[in-house]
């Protein structure tokens, strides 16, 4: 069987990008008040909540189309680390009610973003000439 790494990278990009974009669309519809409350409770300025729009709307679009994928993936990984430590830090060493890791969704986004950071977008991408592609 032939290996098609570029197709695999495209599937990974589409999966991570589209599914994260749904989270961003929800934030566009419902607003950022919950995130502002979390930031405020942790002593951080609430204007940082607008970074969610970058990490959950702009970055997923860049990943989907394959433009500056490494840079976008680094931002997504940072976004997931913020979510992990600000919202889900109590769940890091916990299992869910169904037996899975309580933070497995965040872990999948984080590790998928790290994979794309190290591999780049592959040949099915809009941009392939920069070190950030």
pTM over cut 0.85: yes
3-state secondary structure 35-97: HHHHHHHCCCCHHHHHHHHHHHHHHHHHHHHCCCHHHHHHHHHHHHHHHHHHCCHHHCCCECC
**Given this model, what pLDDT does residue 131 score?**
80
Domain residue spans of the chain: 5-119
Reported as a single tens digit per residue, the pLDDT across 21-79 is: 999 999 999 999 999 999 999 999 999 999 999 999 999 999 999 999 999 999 999 99
Reported as a single tens digit per residue, the pLDDT across 93-130 is: 999 999 999 999 999 999 999 999 999 999 999 988 88
């Amino acid at each position: 069987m032939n290996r098609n790494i570029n197709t695999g990278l495209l599937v990974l990009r589409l999966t991570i990008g589209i599914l994260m974009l749904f989270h961003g669309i929800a934030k566009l519809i419902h607003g950022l008040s919950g995130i502002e409350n979390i930031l405020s409770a942790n002593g951080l300025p609430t204007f940082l909540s607008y970074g969610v729009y970058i990490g959950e709307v702009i970055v997923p679009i860049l990943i989907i189309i394959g433009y500056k994928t490494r840079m976008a993936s680094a931002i997504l990984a940072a976004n997931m680390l913020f979510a992990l430590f600000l919202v889900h830090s109590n769940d890091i060493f916990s299992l869910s009610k169904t037996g899975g890791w309580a933070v497995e969704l965040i872990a999948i986004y984080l590790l998928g973003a790290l994979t794309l950071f190290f591999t780049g977008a592959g040949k099915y991408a809009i941009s392939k000439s920069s070190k950030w592609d």
